[in-house]
Amino acid sequence: MAADASDAPRAWQSVLEHIEAQLLEGRLRPGDRLPGERALSTELGVGRSSVREAIRVLEVLGLIRTQSGSGPSAGAIIISTPGGGMSALMRLQVAASGFPVADIVRTRLILESSVAGDLADATPAPDLTAADRLLDAMDSPTLAPQEFLALDAAFHLALAEASGNQVITATMAGLRSGIEGYALQGLAALTDWHATSARLRIEHRGIVEAIRATDAASARTRIHDHISGYYAETFIDPARTPTT
Amino acid sequence: MAADASDAPRAWQSVLEHIEAQLLEGRLRPGDRLPGERALSTELGVGRSSVREAIRVLEVLGLIRTQSGSGPSAGAIIISTPGGGMSALMRLQVAASGFPVADIVRTRLILESSVAGDLADATPAPDLTAADRLLDAMDSPTLAPQEFLALDAAFHLALAEASGNQVITATMAGLRSGIEGYALQGLAALTDWHATSARLRIEHRGIVEAIRATDAASARTRIHDHISGYYAETFIDPARTPTT
DNA sequence: TCCGTCTCTGTGGTCTGACCACACGTGCTA
DNA sequence: TAGCACGTGTGGTCAGACCACAGAGACGGA
């Protein structure tokens, strides 16, 4: 549907479609190497620059990883790191004011609350060792605020990963990237970083405790309040310029 | 942040960063035109092909729209259609088995349930005329299954739009695109399309009714059952090959 | 025989220059 | 004044060239 190859299939789009078709047929799988740019160029009858534009798109979208040189690890290799593409998308859309920050925060609230509740309800108790390790790291008193925030983001991401839902994990990584700039700016709005970080640490522990206690309702509430509270504290003006 | 410009900033990345910086500074806003490719090339000291690769990325991500020719509508114009980029991302990630279909469906369940509940709770009653119109269109008995599915997707999207959250709207558009191929395949698995479509119509009406009745709990349950029921019916094997 | 070095080859990364189709503006023409 | 032809600048594409890089194999010395 839509304006993909409707009337004027551009050269790079045909390359993209060719690769997508091969992926769908299973002739290309994660770990495989794409043909060389020159080979693809002659094979599809387009210029090498058009092939490169398609390759570039795939790379930004997190589908492939390119590597110069020679050998088995060189070339364009199919990986699947959706988080990268999602991050680029969210970051740029926020920059272009296509995504209001408030909407991103709301989406985070929805997804993270759901994740926390699901983790608490999960029948085989989820593996939270990664989250625990991050919480321990955040207890270090010598952390710079930026380092703390990075660990904080990793903690939330670890919860998503523990839920096993890769779509949510990638989306949350992207959401985080989209508002990272604002989070760093908001740092300056905090009057007492020491108190704030201490509160965040306590809230984090509380979230994990609620999950371990299989108290889904509490886990949802705690993470919801945790996120909304933090943004209420840092964003002086949460009602930023809306969409155009 | 991470491996953006860590050690080897590639030429096209510098172009991307330059444009992103201009967006963040507000020197580029939606509706503006980017400098010409040749101008950007000389301005940034990179080749035109590198500029084009960056432009291509922005285009696929839904940030800009390119137009040949001359005049005020020609060139690369900044738009913000996040749905397009999200769709491409989801579609390709699914093709590369980076996103399990089951995870996409689960994410849909979470987002749509939340949207329905929020719509029911919204203090100024949300505008559901678009959704109503789509439901009316779906009552036409001459619709082909594909047409019905397209309207169905539009209906769900209309609900997201009514919620006013652009991030969720774009994400849902992407999720839908990612599983569109499977939805069309699943059509063949239906034994009685007539009965299924009739049930879907009834469920849709019920969802809207619950929203109008400001019954958030019912709205959540109805849309949750609606989606999960449909996928249970069409996907013969919902436990598809997991990751990698 | 073994091991270090050396070149050779193929990869992506980049730049340059060229041509094309297109659409708007301009200015000429009838 | 109305219509049309041309110039101009745009993105779209291609071809060719060069570079840096990394592996693979050949080569030579110990």
Answer yes or no: do A168 and B107 touch at CB < 8 A: yes
* CA atoms of A7 and B2, how far apart (whole Å): 39
Name the one residue in this structure whose structure tokens are 């958030």: B216
The shortest C-alpha distance from A94 to chain B (Å) reads 9
A11-78 topology per CATH: Arc Repressor Mutant, subunit A (1.10.10)
> Which of B49, B57, B61 has the highest number of chain A CBs within 10 A, making it the mutation to test binding with A?
B61
Whether residues A99 and B53 touch (CB distance < 8 A) is answered with no
- Say which of B23, B49, B95 has its CB closest to residue A23: B95
Cβ neighbors of A149 (< 8 A, separation 6 or more) are A183, A184, A187
Cα A202 from Cα A222, distance rounded (Å): 11
Read out DSSP for A107-123? HHHHHHHHHHHHHHH-S
Residue A201 exposure: Cα atoms within 13 Å on the Cβ side:
18
Contacts of B92 in chain A (CB under 8 A): 20, 23, 58, 61, 63
Place of tokens 């990584």: A173
Question: Could you give the CA distance from residue A85 to residue A63 in angstroms, rounded to a whole number?
Answer: 8
Nearest by CB to residue B1, choosing from A2, A165, A180, is A180
Q: Would you say B99 and B93 are in contact if contact means Cβ atoms under 8 Å apart?
A: yes
Contacts of residue A110 in chain B, CB cutoff 8 Å? 110-111, 114, 168
- For strand D, the positions having any atom within 7 A of a protein Cβ are 7-17, 20-24
What tens digit of pLDDT does each residue of B16-57 get?
Answer: 999 999 999 999 999 999 999 999 999 999 999 999 999 999
Q: Which two tokens stand for residue A126?
A: 């989820």
pLDDT confidence bin for B239, thresholds 50/70/90? very low
The answer to whether the C-beta of A43 is closer than 7 A to strand D is no
Please tell me whether residue A145 adopts helix, strand or coil conformation. Answer: helix
- Euclidean distance between CA atoms A51 and A46, whole angstroms: 7
User: Is there contact between B39 and strand C, defined as CB under 7 Å from any strand atom?
Assistant: no
Phi, psi of A77 (to 5 degrees): -110, 135
Three-class SS of residue A226?
helix
Q: What is the pLDDT of residue A190?
A: 85
pLDDT at position B236 is 57
Closest-CA distance, B68 to chain A, in angstroms, reads: 12
Q: Give the integer Cα–Cα distance in Å for A17 and B25.
A: 35
First to last CA, chain B: 25
Q: Is the distance between the Cβ of B52 and the closest atom of strand D smaller than 7 Å?
A: yes
Task: Give B167-199 pLDDT, tens digit per residue.
Answer: 999 999 999 999 999 888 888 888 888 999 999
Q: What is the pLDDT of residue B4?
A: 40
Strand partners, A67: A75
Q: Where are the domains of chain A?
A: 11-78, 83-234
Q: Check residues B200 and B241 and name the one with the higher pLDDT.
A: B200
CATH superfamily of A83-234: GntR ligand-binding domain-like (1.20.120.530)
Give the whole-angstrom CA distance, residue B120 versus residue B175.
Answer: 23
